[in-house]
Amino acid sequence: MAVSYKDLGFVNTKEMFKKAFEGGYAVPAYNFNNMEQIQSIITACGKSNSPVIMQVSSGARKYANETLLQYMAQGAVKMARQQGHNMPVALHLDHGDTFELCVQCIESGFSSVMIDGSHHPYEKNVELTAKVVEYAHKYDVTVEGELGVLAGIEDDVVAAESVYTQPDQVEDFVKKTGVDSLAISIGTSHGAFKFKPEQCTKNEKGVLVPPPLRFDILEEIEKRVPGFPIVLHGASSVLPEYVKIIEENGGALKAAIGIPSEQLRKAAKSAVCKINIDSDGRLVMTAMIRKVFKDSPAEFDPRKYLGPAREELIKMMIDKNENVLGSAGKG
Ligand code: G3H
Ligand code: 13P
Ligand code: ZN
């Protein structure tokens, strides 16, 4: 074993999810690819005293270099402690697609990994997930699996249609793999275009309201595996205020629709213990950067546009922790 996450200030997700389940809230899992994003995650979760999962996708590893990301994550925990914040922090691989990638992450100090075998036939998904679990548990690293397919883009895999998780498979999957948490498909999807306008209804204010998540499937799953932590991917709300700023400042994001906050609040009170948010952060950054560029065309110091993006990202994440996931004050 090269390095253990325990020596780097991270925790695995076991205790986090136990408390989240019992407390009726969800732990935020925010993706990061750069310094401003990780600073925002740590600052927002420190200030709101929320447990947090910082997650890294394969795309992030390619973009920013895996070694650099690893050290940034370690530095972020140190920064939090220096600032007097003691919330638990997990470092998690998002959408790991091979056993080898999971091993690499575990050896470099990740405290949690996802092995996403959801695109494989069921038996292959079981086999791959069980293999990762067997390895990860030797080092007390927690593992997230996935059953059912989310529509949209998961790194390089594009799924046109979502395939809802079959509750009947869940108990068998959890038992055979020994996985610690499970991502399910109940109507969320990745990215900023989660629903087509024609799937939505208009409310009294003329705002498009997407179809509700399949809470009936979630309830069935909860019955099959009582007390087991469930994960919701593709859970950005695609916050209309930021889409509006993007549109007003030269962007084009017509028909960007996400999961309404009330639906996420409801999910967070159930067996859903981890909620993944990436697109909302991307939208906040893009909105603020576009605004600075439009308002101050002569500006060319990156700190002058990344700084405001970082400030707004912190605000958005504190709001999520306090008012959507319910994780604030639980650190
Ligand atoms: O699940 C997808 C995450 O939002 C990561 O996205 O693969 O573009 O880094 P990415
Ligand atoms: P969003 O695209 O809805 O933010 O989902 C992110 C995610 O699920 C990362 O794994
Ligand atoms: Zn995801």
Q: DSSP string covering 266-322, please?
A: HHHTTTEEEEEE-HHHHHHHHHHHHHHHHH-TT---HHHHHHHHHHHHHHHHHHIII
User: Mutual orientation of helices 122-138 and 99-108 as an angle, nearest 10°?
Assistant: 20
- The atom of ligand 2 lying closest to the CA of 191 is 2
What is the CB-side half-sphere exposure of residue 116 using CA atoms within 13 A?
22
Query: What is the residue with the minimal CA distance to atom 4 of ligand 1?
Result: 278
Chain position carrying tokens 């889409």: 243
User: Ligand 1, from 95, 150, 285: best to mutate by most atoms within 8 Å of Cβ?
Assistant: 95
- Backbone angles phi and psi of 275, in degrees to 5: -120, 125
pLDDT of residue 59: 97
On whether residue 240 sits in a domain, the answer given is yes
On whether residue 215 sits in a domain, the answer given is yes
279 lines ligand 2 (CB under 6 A): yes
On whether residue 330 sits in a domain, the answer given is no
184 lines ligand 2 (CB under 6 A): no
On whether residue 331 sits in a domain, the answer given is no
Distance 276 CA to ligand 3 centre (A): 7
- The atom of ligand 1 lying closest to the CA of 233 is 1
CATH number of domain containing 149: 3.20.20.70
On whether residue 24 sits in a domain, the answer given is yes
pLDDT of residue 160: 56
Give ion ligand 3 contacts, CB < 5 A: 233
- The atom of ligand 1 lying closest to the CA of 33 is 9
pLDDT of residue 41: 98
Distance 18 CA to ligand 2 centre (A): 22
* CB neighbour class for 300 (10 Å; exposed up to 12, middle 13-18, buried from 19): exposed
Chain position carrying tokens 């390895």: 135
User: Mutual orientation of helices 35-47 and 66-82 as an angle, nearest 10°?
Assistant: 30
What residues are in contact with ligand 1 under a 6 Å CB criterion?
31, 57, 59-60, 94-95, 154-155, 190, 278
Is there a catalytic annotation at residue 94? Answer: yes
Query: What is the residue with the minimal CA distance to atom 7 of ligand 1?
Result: 155
- The atom of ligand 2 lying closest to the CA of 278 is 4
Can you spell out the DSSP letters for 157-220? EEESS-B---HHHHHHHHHHH--SEEEE-SS-BSSSB-S-GGG-EE-TTS-EEPPPP-HHHHHH
pLDDT of residue 190: 95
pLDDT of residue 155: 45
Which amino acid, 112? S
61 lines ligand 2 (CB under 6 A): no
Whether residue 147 contacts residue 186, with contact meaning beta carbons closer than 8 Å, is answered with no
Provide the domain limits for residue 99.
Answer: 5-325
User: Ligand 2, from 27, 30, 31, 153: best to mutate by most atoms within 8 Å of Cβ?
Assistant: 31
Q: Return the H-helix or E-strand segment holding 145.
A: strand 142-147
Which listed residue (94, 97, 116, 278) is catalytic? 94
Whether residue 326 contacts residue 268, with contact meaning beta carbons closer than 8 Å, is answered with yes
Q: How many domains does the chain have?
A: 1
Distance 223 CA to ligand 1 centre (A): 30
On whether residue 93 sits in a domain, the answer given is yes
Structure tokens at 73: 């994550």
What averages of pLDDT result for each successive group of 10 residues across the chain (331 residues)? 92 98 98 98 98 98 97 98 97 98 98 97 98 98 96 55 89 98 96 92 87 96 98 97 96 94 98 98 98 98 98 98 98 97
